[in-house]
Amino acid sequence: MSTGPIPERVDHRKLANHAGLIEGTLPLQCFQRLGEMLVAREGEVFLRLEFSKGEFGSTVVNGSAATEVCMICQNCMQPFWRKISCDIAVHVVADEAKLERLAEDVDGIVTPDKVVAVVDLIEDELILTMPMIPRHEEGECPKTEYEQVGIVLPEVLEVEEVQESQTTYRPFAGLAETIDKQNT
């Protein structure tokens, strides 16, 4: 078992052969695609990964990951922090043919090498836990200098009725008749 800071790359085959467990942290800066969604890349991702042998020579990785990320609230446009976490269940295979042989409900990644980047094992799952529209929880948006002003409508609105014409123009109404005449 390894604890503390985790190396960016691990030998997944060796860990699977020994039923390895790694537990520790990775800097949030290592996560390129996740980082593009954030205001700041400060902090660490806490993770626990268990490795075992799978079918077709694959390595099965199960575990969890958690971190706290800073995003922009789409209601008040202010930064806020939110904790995200996810479960990891992925098979590491050597080629596309082995990936296709896995069950449909199994996630997998292809890496022909015995060494795999830990980020590749968990980044997709972390991205999937991100909110589609980042917002503060209900009622937690800070007050800003801009306030919504209520609009007062007059009591009586005069609305002119739009009269629809009695006849509607139908450009293809006679098309069927014309086609029938040409066919006879």
Q: Is the dihedral of CA 27, 33, 35, 37 positive or negative?
A: negative
Which pLDDT score is estimated for 152? 59
Q: What is the pLDDT of residues 7-53, one digit of tens each?
A: 888 988 888 888 889 999 999 999 999 999 999 888 999 999 999 98
- Give the number of domains in the chain: 1
Distance CA 68, CA 115 (A): 28
| 29 or 3: which leads in pLDDT | 29
In a domain, 150, yes or no: no
User: Cβ neighbours of residue 32 under 8 Å, at least 6 residues apart?
Assistant: 119
- Domain hosting residue 27, numbered range: 9-129
Which pLDDT score is estimated for 112? 85
In a domain, 163, yes or no: no
- Give the SS3 label for residue 152: coil
- Percent of the chain beyond pLDDT 70? 85
In a domain, 115, yes or no: yes
Output the six-digit token pair for 177. Answer: 């008749």
In a domain, 98, yes or no: yes
In a domain, 75, yes or no: yes
In a domain, 65, yes or no: yes
As a whole number, the mean pLDDT across the chain is 83
In a domain, 134, yes or no: no
Which pLDDT score is estimated for 165? 53
Distance CA 27, CA 41 (A): 8
In a domain, 152, yes or no: no
Q: Do 91 and 106 contact (CB within 8 A), yes or no?
A: yes
Strand pairing category for 59-72 and 9-11? unpaired
Q: What is the pLDDT of residues 49-66, one digit of tens each?
A: 999 988 877 889 999 999
Q: What is the pLDDT of residues 142-184, one digit of tens each?
A: 776 544 445 555 555 555 555 555 677 777 878 888 888 888 7
